[in-house]
Structure 1
Amino acid sequence: MTVDDPLMSPFVLKNLTLRNRIVSTSHEPAYSEDGLPKDRYRAYHVEKARGGVALTMIGGSALVSRDSAPAFGNLQLWKEEAEPWLRRLADQVHEQGAAVMTQLTHLGHRTSNYTDNWLPAISAGNVREPAHRAFAKAAEQWDLDRVLQDFVDVAQRCEAAGLDGIELMAWGHLLDSFWTPFWNHRDDDYGGTYENRMRYPLQVIRAVRAAVGTDFVIGARMTFDEEREGGLETPEALRIAEDITAAGIDFISLIKGSIGTDAHLARTIPPMSTPASPHLEFAGRIRQKLSVPVMHAARISDVATARYAVAEGLLDLVGMTRALMADPELPNKVRDGRTDRIRPCVGANMCIDGIYASGAAYCMHNPSTGRELEVPQRIDRASTGSRVAVVGAGPAGLEASRVLAERGHDVHLFEAADKVGGQLLLASLAPRRRDLRGIIDWRTEELARLGVRISLNTYVTAETLLDDQPWDVVIVATGGTPAAPRIPGAGLVTDTWDVLSGAHRPRGHVLVYDDHGGNQALDAVEALVGGGATVELVTPERTPSPDVGSLTAAGYFNSLAENGVTVTVLRRLHGVSRTPDGLEAEFGVDGFGFRERRTFDAVVAEMGTDPVQELYDELVGSSTNLGAVDLAALLDRGPQSVVRNEEGSFRLFRIGDAVASRNVHAAMLDAARLCRAI
């Protein structure tokens, strides 16, 4: 890094000096406890500050009002007991040299009617947001008066707690539901003309500005083009920006697009397979017309693009939120000239989709994010080194080898194939998921740096492993193989691995049966229709692909529609038989006697994987622990000291799909938890 690196140059935001231009923009990881930013929430943001970020923004959609029901783990800063937790977080972030702010909002219609206290949602009108499905009532004057006071009270609480500022959320929530013609259909003093639509948001901004000190920073997150019929367009958005700046806004977090549906949100927060930094040039054009600093975040995940954005004057501050979740040390690595060691964000969007699927945000290949207290981002050296054999170079084996080598152990990684990556290599063959290669490539480079020996084209048996040298620890990460449906005629069924690899791409009328619920069946469908097949996707679930997050699923579902794929839910496959006309599939509905039979030219099934555990079974009798894991120690970061066989010569563990069919993150977490204590 040179001293004139624009990305590392300081920036003065009002009277607040930021040490560089990299920002973790406001987002809600759902790490709160009782709606408060307690230890887990604080550790997550302190780690970003320690990693060198200039500004970390907490509380994506932190709530100011009791009736704004938390829809996705939101902080509830209307609670008085939030202040000491905020103060502790702010103090520790400041100790690491970073600034800290929080976003404040009333969610308005962007929530559910059936959560928290079941109070009615409010909005500018009687509207319904598709994503969270609440039916909202049009806010009455008494609603507006109390919510305005709530904004004031919580802003003052944040200032008293030592935060450097706040950001008012005006993108898809209550405040902007008044100024956008898409949501506001009122016929009173708050609707109709531009002046009427702006009346309430400006009242709130002026009241908040008047209630806090002049040095306290107030920003706004807003869109400059909703990209939907009847929505806010750029000319009027620029007028809004001018008016809210005059009312007391000090910076703008710039957005392009809207948030009401999964598809709209996916265009605003793009997942993998979409272009990187899609709105950056638009943001640069808008910035030239504004009188306050601009920050922007939309898949700016690489340092070169971030540096370009600052150097060319497109942005004042670069939001790299997802990239910082993948590697909170990113700013320090830029500063120290170690950009080649940055763990890449691959755009899997598990950080966003995980909030709904798992109850919290997780990074697909950084198991420490959100678990800083139990799986620290920094890996400590072991007191003594051990000789460790890791068998299998899929995601679990790669992560295990990396962590063990970082701890100072002598690691030898064995892989039966001619390259590392395991199932990730197969998954990355799908054009939509090609960026998964970044997970493999980064670990390959790290293992080379750490001097880990890798033996490819090496099929390991218990005999060859034990004859090689004495091992202290053996970790079996042999993964899985495609599971076949347990039905009559299973031998007539093709698995998705053959489809994705190109080994077998049937044509004609093809059934893809998905009893897994992940990306795999959808990837197979896209591969098949790309080869000219007519496809029907069938699942026993109530919805297709329930384990695929909403932002990622939006692109898939559009592809299904464009390619004429029929989707059938609530049908379980009971058997397949060959007939003169093709393959006859028998379906039923769970719990009932209904049966139907239909004929296809081919049947493809996705059933997850069966563990490859032969090596484990061969080794278990020679191990000291007989494969047993002390689960309490595993979760408490304690050593694995189980002894069930005094005659054993090594400790044996298995991780990832060698245990059971799960996802990449689960495999990484297995490795991270286990190997940090070896």
Structure 2
Amino acid sequence: MIETQKIDPTTDYSRLFTPFKIGNMEVKNRIVLSPMGTGSSKIDGSKSNSEIRYYEERARGGAGMIILGCQLLTEELAQGSLEGTLEKEHVIPKLTELVEAVQRYGTKVVCQISPGTGRNAFPSMYGEPPVSASPIPAVFDPSVTCHALTVPEIAKIMEQFTNSADIAKKAGFDAIEIHGHAGYLIDQFMSPVWNKREDEYGGSDENRARFARDIIRALRKAVGPNMPIMFRISLDHRFEGGRTLEDSMPLIQLLEAEGVDALDIDSGSYETLDYIFPPAYLGDACMEYVCEMARKHVNIPLLNSGNHTPETAIRLLESGNADFVMFGRPLIADPELPNKLMRGCREDVRPCIRCNEECIGRIVNRLTKLSCAVNIQAAEEQRFKLVKTEMPKKVLVIGAGPAGLEAARVAATIGHQVILVEKEHEIGGQLRVAATPQFKSQLRDLVKWFGVQLNKLKVDVRLNTELQADDSLLDSADRIILAAGALPIEPPILGLDYDNVISVVDAHLHKDLVKGKRIVICGGGLSACDSAIELAQEHGKQVTVIEMRDAVAKDVMFINTISIYRMFDEYGIKQRTNSRVTSIDKVGVHITKLDGSNECIPADTVITAFGMKPDRRLAESIQAKYHAKTRVVGDSDTVGNVGTAVRGGYYAAISLED
């Protein structure tokens, strides 16, 4: 048997499934899908079929309310993004299809409307300077000065809001949410750090809130007094000069006085971007703290987001400081999270690993639509639908890392007979290695989740089993999926065999091998950075990271590096970039810097993290004999991350009959 996830069976999740009202709209439970762009609307601003199915799946999974990612007032303001526009009536039929697909399950659906990014616009997406409250520098190109909106231009935007709200109402939405969040255009008016105006839109809390209050009135003109209007706002920008939690209290009171029916609150801004897309490093419920003060200043319902788990959701509701808990990426990872909790199946909830690689990472870095590292069906619910096979096969999966685990799970789910062999004494592969820091608990949860699923699917898991190319299991299998993992790269550096030198894998798994106080890590990739933070944060080590390139974490998703760099500073982790390791001895690590100078960094323990390479040894011997029925996936094929490994395993399993 495999180790299964240990969850407190006495936890009562029933509080999550009590109804609550926003205005006169009753929501069936307290679980809300956070507003997140999917990058999958059509270029004409209308919704695509895949986006409709994406939202429908989260409604079917039991969410009480779904808030769409921001819909822009006009095509010009959308700046080429594929999130949808509310400018022309041709978008109404597809919006109606989306709305009714969600409402079918008793889920409320909210249209979030935005006048754009303002100073946060990407340089590639504007021909003229972006607009803002004042003539301030653009975020991504400070040499560009924003155009300060004139009063007539503001009046035109209000007309556009009325038009967009009318379109949303005709499409059948249950409520409207104003996107006043995280330093976007509306927030730029509300914040003195960006609003330098001296007219009726600047100079005091009342004036800085005028733009937002004008929007509320413009929406009411279209939707009438009964349709709820919500407002999304960051209450704490978390950077020097930004709006603080205390600064935000008069603003939310003004919004309540203007008739906002609920507030969607968290923290962060583009200056602290990792709080907009909080990675694993920020921990659970990292923005819950804004709720207590907000509750004391307003009487309308509060919604809160930010790395929530089912357990933190219960805690927040029981505190009385919020009325709804928002799950963004967790509902991408597992759209059935609400129904599984309601059925008492907490162990079946697939955890979000907070990697940002396949959700926001795909949209920003690859300009393509959202997916998920652990749920390959996200935004592809129809195309990647699992269908029971009519031709069950004997499938042998070799290797129980993320690729092999997913391949075994999916193959068994669709009805194949699966044997999974693993040479180690437990499942997980590189996941098990990467999961040792406290801040990577989601990876530990993912390994446990796979264990639960494989047990329930009755997969024949054989641990401590290392196959050779002549093993009879290979001959009897109809299909072989090989996911044997990777090997560490060992460059020809003098001293790698010294007793004080260990691999980063051993550093993660065997802390007793990390001797002394002074630790030097050779290599600055993700595993090295995580190990450095773990050793400094949890074990009080003095850590130095050496990297050949000009920055550590060079291949890490850029939002996550913000947290990594902050933690490096917090725990005094030193960096030696543009530096090449030339040798290692009992004194320390000798490096040559970019300018040609040399230095020895003293070390009690040296950790090697030069990267990984595919382990092709078993693959080559098996493919030589069973090429036609063998597929190589995961790091055995190409070294990647959790998402690429899981995707490879998923693809191999769903194509077994091809």
Q: TM tier, shorter chain?
A: 0.7 to 0.9
Q: Match for 2:269 among 249, 259, 267? A: 259
Q: Which moved more, 1:224-233 or 1:551-560?
A: 224-233
Matched, 1:482 2:485: no
In 1, are the aligned partners of 2:229 and 2:261 still within 8 Å (CA)? yes
Q: Match for 1:385 among 388, 392, 413? A: 392
> Aligned residue for 2:522?
512
Q: Which moved more, 1:552-561 or 1:202-211?
A: 552-561
Instruction: Measure, in 1, the Cα distance between the counterparts of 2:599 and 2:98.
Output: 60
Q: Where does 1:189-208 land on structure 2 (aligned, <5 Å)?
A: 189-208=200-219
> Aligned residue for 1:405?
412
In 1, are the aligned partners of 2:519 and 2:541 still within 8 Å (CA)? no
> Aligned residue for 1:63?
72
Q: CA deviation at 1:122?
A: 1.5
In 2, are the aligned partners of 1:611 and 1:659 still within 8 Å (CA)? yes
> Aligned residue for 2:105?
96
Unaligned runs of 5+ in 2: 1-9
Instruction: Measure, in 2, the Cα distance between the counterparts of 1:222 and 1:581.
Output: 53
Q: Where does 1:483-498 land on structure 2 (aligned, <5 Å)?
A: 483-485=489-491, 495-498=503-506
Instruction: Measure, in 2, the Cα distance between the counterparts of 1:579 and 1:305.
Output: 48
In 2, are the aligned partners of 1:109 and 1:127 still within 8 Å (CA)? no
Q: Where does 1:625-640 land on structure 2 (aligned, <5 Å)?
A: 626-627=627-628
Q: Match for 2:478 among 472, 487, 501? A: 472
Write the letter of the residue equivalent to 2:620.
D
TM-score, normalised by the number of residues in structure 2:
0.87
In 2, are the aligned partners of 1:357 and 1:547 still within 8 Å (CA)? no
In 2, are the aligned partners of 1:69 and 1:111 still within 8 Å (CA)? no
Q: CA deviation at 1:240?
A: 2.6
Q: CA deviation at 1:93?
A: 1.8
Q: CA deviation at 1:214?
A: 3.3
Identity of aligned residues (%): 27
In 2, are the aligned partners of 1:90 and 1:163 still within 8 Å (CA)? yes
Q: Where does 1:33-44 land on structure 2 (aligned, <5 Å)?
A: 33-34=42-43, 35-44=45-54
* CA spacing shift, 1:393–1:213, aligned 2, 3 Å: same
Write the letter of the residue equivalent to 1:478.
A
* CA spacing shift, 1:472–1:509, aligned 2, 3 Å: closer
Matched, 1:111 2:120: yes
* CA spacing shift, 1:3–1:505, aligned 2, 3 Å: closer
> Aligned residue for 1:546?
554
Write the letter of the residue equivalent to 1:441.
K
Write the letter of the residue equivalent to 1:189.
E
Q: Match for 1:449 among 434, 449, 456? A: 456
Instruction: Measure, in 1, the Cα distance between the counterparts of 2:398 and 2:145.
Output: 54
Q: CA deviation at 1:341?
A: 1.3
Instruction: Measure, in 1, the Cα distance between the counterparts of 2:244 and 2:601.
Output: 48
Provide the secondary structure at the position in 2 that maps to 1:280. Answer: coil
Matched, 1:672 2:650: yes
Write the letter of the residue equivalent to 2:131.
I
In 1, are the aligned partners of 2:79 and 2:126 still within 8 Å (CA)? no
Instruction: Measure, in 1, the Cα distance between the counterparts of 2:585 and 2:348.
Output: 57
Q: CA deviation at 1:608?
A: 3.2
* CA spacing shift, 1:244–1:561, aligned 2, 3 Å: closer
Matched, 1:654 2:657: no
Q: Which moved more, 1:529-538 or 1:167-176?
A: 529-538
Write the letter of the residue equivalent to 2:111.
T
Matched, 1:86 2:95: yes
Provide the secondary structure at the position in 1 that maps to 2:487. Answer: strand
**How far does the alpha carbon of each residue in 1:49-108 deviate from its partner, in whole angstroms, 9 at most, with x for none?**
11111211112x332244435487543433554333322211222233322222111234
Write the letter of the residue equivalent to 1:298.
G
**How far does the alpha carbon of each residue in 1:30-56 deviate from its partner, in whole angstroms, 9 at most, with x for none?**
233425431222221111011111211
Matched, 1:348 2:355: yes
Q: Match for 1:294 among 289, 302, 305? A: 302
In 2, are the aligned partners of 1:273 and 1:435 still within 8 Å (CA)? no
* CA spacing shift, 1:471–1:4, aligned 2, 3 Å: closer
Provide the secondary structure at the position in 2 that maps to 1:462. Answer: coil
Provide the secondary structure at the position in 1 that maps to 2:120. Answer: coil
Q: Whose RCO is larger (CA < 8 A, sep 6+)?
A: 2
In 2, are the aligned partners of 1:391 and 1:478 still within 8 Å (CA)? yes
* CA spacing shift, 1:290–1:500, aligned 2, 3 Å: same
> Aligned residue for 1:177?
188
Instruction: Measure, in 2, the Cα distance between the counterparts of 1:298 and 1:598.
Output: 43
In 1, are the aligned partners of 2:503 and 2:608 still within 8 Å (CA)? yes
Q: Match for 2:257 among 226, 231, 246? A: 246
Write the letter of the residue equivalent to 1:300.
H
Write the letter of the residue equivalent to 1:677.
S
Matched, 1:433 2:436: no
Instruction: Measure, in 1, the Cα distance between the counterparts of 2:402 and 2:495.
Output: 29
Q: CA deviation at 1:489?
A: 5.1
Q: Match for 2:324 among 317, 335, 338? A: 317
**How far does the alpha carbon of each residue in 1:522-543 deviate from its partner, in whole angstroms, 9 at most, with x for none?**
1243356556455243242x54
> Aligned residue for 1:616?
619
* CA spacing shift, 1:66–1:580, aligned 2, 3 Å: same
Instruction: Measure, in 2, the Cα distance between the counterparts of 1:254 and 1:527.
Output: 31
Q: Where does 1:359-378 land on structure 2 (aligned, <5 Å)?
A: 359=367, 360-376=369-385
> Aligned residue for 2:4?
none
Q: Which moved more, 1:28-37 or 1:181-190?
A: 28-37
Matched, 1:334 2:344: no
In 2, are the aligned partners of 1:30 and 1:355 still within 8 Å (CA)? yes
> Aligned residue for 1:591?
none
Q: Match for 1:214 among 207, 225, 229? A: 225
Q: Which moved more, 1:216-225 or 1:4-13?
A: 4-13
Q: CA deviation at 1:345?
A: 2.6
Matched, 1:155 2:165: yes
RMSD over aligned Cα atoms: 3.2
> Aligned residue for 2:528?
521
Instruction: Measure, in 1, the Cα distance between the counterparts of 2:422 and 2:480.
Output: 14
Provide the secondary structure at the position in 2 that maps to 1:246. Answer: helix
Write the letter of the residue equivalent to 2:529.
L
Q: CA deviation at 1:363?
A: 2.8
Provide the secondary structure at the position in 2 that maps to 1:433. Answer: helix
> Aligned residue for 2:6?
none
Matched, 1:421 2:424: no
Matched, 1:75 2:84: yes
Matched, 1:395 2:402: yes
Provide the secondary structure at the position in 2 that maps to 1:216. Answer: coil
Q: CA deviation at 1:229?
A: 4.7
In 1, are the aligned partners of 2:410 and 2:653 still within 8 Å (CA)? yes
Write the letter of the residue equivalent to 2:488.
P
Q: CA deviation at 1:196?
A: 2.2
**How far does the alpha carbon of each residue in 1:502-553 deviate from its partner, in whole angstroms, 9 at most, with x for none?**
4466875846334xxx42121243356556455243242x543233234432
Write the letter of the residue equivalent to 1:14.
G
Write the letter of the residue equivalent to 2:30.
R
* CA spacing shift, 1:577–1:173, aligned 2, 3 Å: closer
* CA spacing shift, 1:307–1:579, aligned 2, 3 Å: closer
Instruction: Measure, in 1, the Cα distance between the counterparts of 2:307 and 2:552.
Output: 27
Write the letter of the residue equivalent to 1:482.
P
Q: CA deviation at 1:5?
A: 2.9
Q: CA deviation at 1:417?
A: 0.6
* CA spacing shift, 1:151–1:391, aligned 2, 3 Å: same
> Aligned residue for 1:224?
235
Q: CA deviation at 1:311?
A: 4.8
**How far does the alpha carbon of each residue in 1:221-263 deviate from its partner, in whole angstroms, 9 at most, with x for none?**
12334455544455553433333233332221122x331323x
Q: CA deviation at 1:334?
A: 2.3
Q: CA deviation at 1:605?
A: 5.1
Write the letter of the residue equivalent to 1:208.
L
Instruction: Measure, in 2, the Cα distance between the counterparts of 1:432 and 1:318.
Output: 22
* CA spacing shift, 1:214–1:5, aligned 2, 3 Å: same
* CA spacing shift, 1:585–1:314, aligned 2, 3 Å: closer
Unaligned runs of 5+ in 1: 589-593, 628-650
> Aligned residue for 1:5?
14
Q: CA deviation at 1:620?
A: 1.7
Q: How many residues align?
A: 633
